[in-house]
């Protein structure tokens, strides 16, 4: 790497640097600025990462302008460079005097190729101007709209209910918390079915129910009745169990098919009998395999596609190299999907620490085993899913695009000061979208936490879900002082909280984005388009640049028409209807005068926030002040049916000029009733036109297939 300057002066806080890159492998350029002596995080002012465009390797111009720090952030500019996952951060509490260390680093993914360092000496006036600019930086967690969204807003009922059908088990697996009396759900018993009355509304409104938590569901002889009761409340809900498969007799199989069970995850961690016996104490691998074969043939005889089957593999010290064998076993048993997780991911107690620490040697083994497993899975057409992909890939040192994260975000030993100065909170949404009900009716925030937030024998689920205890739990989870179990939880890594200045007036999924709850992981369709699924109600935040229109690129992959309301700062601004495929819709923001949306929202929620202060919450000197609230837009997409999913690719604020000439028709869709009727007509017309075409194509393909035979 060649640089056009030997020293940097930052006269007037500006500097332009030209870098010449010759290294073919360099794909990321990062800039790091520290105070002297460089100390993390105290004197780390910030970093910026850029993806180096393939065709621009020869020369890159970086423009740094510290003057803009309070308004647009410090934004070194790299020609056409694309910022990637967690691309930068700024520490406004940085401690520095008159010196800064400025480094330009070239990377080949996570391998450092070359580093060039400069020491900058600031004069007195530059130093204080930089300090002032840093003080003005606001992070999103200082905005009420953002905090309320996570902590105070009324939350829609959960998408997933985990109901513990029993906490009894027929095995004594050494890695299970039950075995050492550390079960978060307490004593061992079957589900008290009385509690289903107080769960009725939640069952009606959820998408799926899992009937396993701490025990083996087949131990409960009334499992089929419980499934029937739940299906009677909501026939469309997807019911799943996770089972060791040992008690799956032919009678049980027939009864489970009759009850409407949708899927079974078989917990199998080894295809080696000796190892299996060591891990599943009291189990019998051959019996499990036979039971799965019986399940397949009974399903075929009864012409039933359900229950679908999946293998749930949890890798640890003893069995990490079993991944390829598990894929072979799935193939032999006709199972088309495997979920992979690492034992770290669900460690419930510190008693396991020694067992679950991934040594370098173990990582290497896991790394190799995974690539072999993936190769076999591709050949055999078996889907590999990851319970927590970001943890899985990072713990095994696998570079997988879209799941990169810095190691510090995995560090659960950070102290309060570090968490605060790095602007982190736990990236966990479980208590907003899932709920865990123990056999005795105790409601827990997640599968890890032994904390009870209410009991269904005393209150309805809705009372507990939006009750004070749940709210306080959520509030602390998104603070710098999370609940103890969240602080050490490995299911969630830390999230860096964005600066408001770096919010944009557009969001492209997979690129720049700030979104809130109810978003699925990023996916790519076969045309290369990135999208996320959204469900029920999804939220994102945009910077309000007073542009009058909003455009959303939405997709629907089902044959049902999906419709949704769009709300900006809690006010409905229109309806969208999406038939099969992708569609861009335009909505106007008629009241989008300066600060109008912002103020109405902030004044309401300010009081709520103050009233809800709790002694457990961090009351620090950096508690947010709302007088000079930054104007951000909170955009909610609220699906009109709980049963459907919608895909989202991007959202943009647009000017008058950008909209005129695109689609005047849909740009005026803010009149909700008219827009809904017109859009429904349009969608039905779409099906009327496209259906005969599809049918014709299908018939042609069947005919040509018959001909070739
Ligand atoms: S971060 Fe907290 S709420 Fe989330 S899974 Fe972990 S313990 Fe549960």
Ligand 1 atom closest to the Cα of residue 485 is: 7
Nearest to residue 577, comparing CAs of 592, 587, 569, 590? 587
Pair 403, 109: CB distance under 8 Å: no
470, 491, 493, 494: which to mutate for ligand 1, most atoms within 8 A of CB?
491
Nearest to residue 332, comparing CAs of 378, 284, 296? 296
346, 347, 426: which to mutate for ligand 1, most atoms within 8 A of CB?
426
Residue 510 has pLDDT above 90, yes or no: no
CA 611, chain centre distance (Å):
30
Pair 61, 18: CB distance under 8 Å: yes
Which of 201-215, 511-525, 606-620, 623-637 shows the lowest mean pLDDT across its residues?
606-620
- Measure 152 CA to ligand 1 centroid, in angstroms: 18
Question: How far is it, in rounded angstroms, from Cα 698 to Cα 702?
Answer: 6
User: Which residues 6+ apart lie within 8 Å of 615 measured at CB?
Assistant: none
Nearest to residue 297, comparing CAs of 284, 314, 309? 309
- Measure 469 CA to ligand 1 centroid, in angstroms: 15
Taking phi first (over 0 means left), then psi (-120 to 50 degrees means alpha), and beta for anything else, what does residue 80 get? left
- Residue 624's pLDDT is 29
- Measure 486 CA to ligand 1 centroid, in angstroms: 5
Ligand 1 atom closest to the Cα of residue 447 is: 8
- Measure 142 CA to ligand 1 centroid, in angstroms: 23
Q: Give me the sign of the Cα torsion angle 212, 214, 219, 223.
A: negative
Question: How far is it, in rounded angstroms, from Cα 547 to Cα 592?
Answer: 8
What are the residues facing 3 on neighbouring strands?
A: 19
> Of all residues in the chain, what percent carry a pLDDT higher than 90?
39
Tokens, residue 332: 């032999």
What is the number of residues in the chain? 709
- Measure 447 CA to ligand 1 centroid, in angstroms: 8
By alpha-carbon position, which residue is closest to atom 1 of ligand 1? 486
Residue 271 has pLDDT above 80, yes or no: yes
Residue 667 has pLDDT above 50, yes or no: no
Q: Which residue has the tokens 């790497």?
A: 1
- Give every strand in the sheet of 2-3, ordered side by side: 2-3, 14-20, 59-65, 77-78
CA 247, chain centre distance (Å):
35
Tokens, residue 354: 């020694």
Ligand 1 atom closest to the Cα of residue 483 is: 2
Mean pLDDT of the residues in the chain: 82
Q: For 473, phi and psi rounded to 5 degrees?
A: -60, -45
Residue with the bigger pLDDT between 506 and 403: it is 506
160, 390, 446, 469: which to mutate for ligand 1, most atoms within 8 A of CB?
446
348, 432, 449: which to mutate for ligand 1, most atoms within 8 A of CB?
449
- Measure 148 CA to ligand 1 centroid, in angstroms: 19
Nearest to residue 324, comparing CAs of 371, 264, 383, 279? 371
Tokens, residue 15: 């500097």
Residues with CB under 6 A from ligand 1: 426, 428, 430-431, 445-446, 448-449, 477, 485-486, 489, 491-492
By alpha-carbon position, which residue is closest to atom 7 of ligand 1? 486
- Measure 425 CA to ligand 1 centroid, in angstroms: 12
CA 392, chain centre distance (Å):
14
Name the band, by pLDDT with cuts 50, 70 and 90, for residue 70: low
Nearest to residue 412, comparing CAs of 494, 316, 495, 497? 494
Q: For 690, phi and psi rounded to 5 degrees?
A: -80, -30
Helix, strand or coil for residue 693? Answer: helix
Which of 191-205, 519-533, 650-664 shows the lowest mean pLDDT across its residues?
650-664
- Residue 565's pLDDT is 92
Tokens, residue 336: 């088309």
Name the band, by pLDDT with cuts 50, 70 and 90, for residue 252: very high
Q: Which residue has the tokens 């083994």?
A: 365
Question: How far is it, in rounded angstroms, from Cα 502 to Cα 432?
Answer: 26
By alpha-carbon position, which residue is closest to atom 8 of ligand 1? 446
Tokens, residue 12: 């007037």
- Measure 322 CA to ligand 1 centroid, in angstroms: 28
pTM of the model: 0.81
177, 475, 486, 494: which to mutate for ligand 1, most atoms within 8 A of CB?
486
Q: Which helix (H) or strand (E) holds 196?
A: none
By alpha-carbon position, which residue is closest to atom 4 of ligand 1? 428
Helix, strand or coil for residue 654? Answer: strand
- Measure 182 CA to ligand 1 centroid, in angstroms: 17
Q: Which helix (H) or strand (E) holds 456?
A: none
Question: What are the respective helix, strand and coil percentages of the chain, to the nearest 5?
Answer: 35, 25, 40
Residue 671 has pLDDT above 80, yes or no: no
Helix, strand or coil for residue 399? Answer: coil
Burial level of 508, CB count in 10 A (0-12/13-18/19+)? Answer: middle
- Residue 543's pLDDT is 82
- Measure 154 CA to ligand 1 centroid, in angstroms: 20
Q: For 447, phi and psi rounded to 5 degrees?
A: -75, -15
- Taking the alpha carbons at both ends of the chain, their separation in whole angstroms is 61
Residue 136 has pLDDT above 90, yes or no: no
Burial level of 353, CB count in 10 A (0-12/13-18/19+)? Answer: exposed
Longest pairwise C-alpha distance within the chain: 85
- Measure 545 CA to ligand 1 centroid, in angstroms: 35
- Measure 484 CA to ligand 1 centroid, in angstroms: 9
């Amino acid at each position: 790497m060649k640089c056009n300057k030997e020293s940097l002066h930052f006269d007037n806080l500006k500097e332009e640097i030209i870098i010449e890159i010759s290294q073919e492998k360099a794909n990321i350029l990062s800039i790091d600025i520290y105070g002297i002596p460089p100390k993390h995080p105290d004197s780390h002012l910030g970093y910026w990462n850029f993806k180096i465009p393939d065709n621009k390797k020869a020369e890159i111009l970086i423009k740094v302008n510290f003057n803009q720090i309070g308004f647009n952030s410090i934004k070194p500019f790299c020609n056409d460079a694309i910022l990637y996952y967690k691309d930068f951060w700024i520490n406004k509490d940085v401690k520095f005097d008159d010196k800064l260390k400025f480094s330009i680093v070239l990377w080949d993914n996570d391998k450092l190729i070359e580093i060039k360092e400069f020491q900058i000496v600031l004069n007195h006036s530059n130093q204080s101007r930089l300090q002032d600019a840093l003080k003005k930086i606001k992070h999103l967690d200082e905005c009420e709209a953002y905090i309320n969204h996570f902590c105070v807003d009324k939350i829609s009922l959960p998408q997933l209910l985990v109901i513990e059908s029993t906490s009894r088990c027929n095995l004594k697996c050494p890695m299970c918390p039950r075995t050492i009396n550390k079960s978060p759900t307490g004593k061992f018993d079957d589900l008290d079915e009385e509690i289903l009355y107080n769960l009725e509304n939640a069952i009606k409104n959820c998408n799926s129910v899992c009937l396993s938590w701490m025990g083996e569901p087949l131990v409960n002889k009334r499992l089929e009745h419980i499934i029937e009761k739940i299906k009677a409340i909501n026939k469309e809900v997807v019911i799943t169990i996770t089972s060791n498969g040992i008690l799956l007799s032919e009678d049980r199989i027939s009864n489970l098919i009759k009850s409407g069970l949708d899927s079974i995850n078989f917990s199998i961690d080894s295809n080696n009998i000796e190892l299996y016996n060591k891990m599943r104490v009291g189990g019998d691998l051959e019996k499990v395999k036979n039971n799965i074969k019986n399940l397949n043939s009974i399903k075929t005889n009864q012409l039933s596609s359900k229950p679908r089957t999946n293998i749930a593999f949890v890798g640890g010290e003893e069995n990490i190299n079993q991944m390829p064998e598990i894929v072979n076993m799935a193939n032999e048993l006709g199972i088309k999907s495997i979920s992979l997780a690492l034992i770290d991911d669900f460690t419930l107690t510190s008693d396991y620490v020694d067992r679950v620490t991934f040594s370098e040697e173990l990582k290497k083994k896991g790394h190799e085993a995974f690539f072999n497993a993936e190769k076999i899975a591709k050949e055999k057409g078996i889907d590999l899913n990851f319970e927590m992909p970001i943890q899985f890939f990072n713990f095994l040192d696998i570079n997988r695009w879209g799941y990169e994260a810095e190691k510090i975000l995995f560090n659960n030993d950070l102290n309060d000061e570090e968490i605060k100065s790095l602007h982190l909170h736990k990236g966990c949404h479980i208590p907003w979208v899932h709920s865990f009900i123990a056999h005795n009716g105790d409601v827990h925030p997640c599968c890890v936490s032994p904390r009870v937030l209410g009991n269904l024998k005393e209150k309805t689920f809705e009372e507990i879900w939006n009750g004070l205890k749940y709210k306080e739990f959520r509030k602390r989870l998104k603070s710098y002082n999370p609940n103890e179990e969240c602080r050490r939880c490995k299911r969630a890594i830390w999230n860096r909280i964005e600066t408001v200045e770096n919010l944009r007036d557009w969001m492209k999924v997979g690129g720049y984005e700030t979104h809130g709850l109810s978003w699925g992981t990023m996916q790519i369709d076969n045309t290369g388009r990135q999208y996320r699924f959204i469900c029920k109600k999804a939220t994102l935040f945009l910077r309000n640049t007073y542009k009058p229109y909003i455009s959303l690129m939405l997709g629907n992959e089902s044959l049902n028409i999906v419709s949704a309301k769009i709300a900006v700062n809690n006010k409905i601004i229109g309806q969208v209807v999406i038939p099969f495929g992708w569609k861009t819709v335009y909505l106007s923001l008629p009241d989008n005068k300066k600060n109008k949306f912002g103020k109405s929202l902030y004044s309401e929620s300010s009081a709520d926030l103050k009233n809800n202060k709790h002694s457990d919450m961090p009351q620090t000197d950096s508690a947010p002040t709302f007088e000079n609230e930054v104007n951000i837009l909170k955009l909610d997409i609220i699906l009109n049916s709980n049963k459907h999913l919608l895909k989202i690719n991007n959202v943009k604020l647009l000017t008058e000029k950008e909209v005129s000439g695109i689609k005047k028709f849909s740009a005026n869709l803010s009149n909700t009733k008219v827009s809904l009727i017109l859009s429904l007509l349009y969608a039905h017309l779409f099906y009327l036109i496209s259906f005969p075409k599809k049918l014709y194509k299908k018939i042609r393909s069947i005919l040509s297939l018959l001909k070739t035979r």
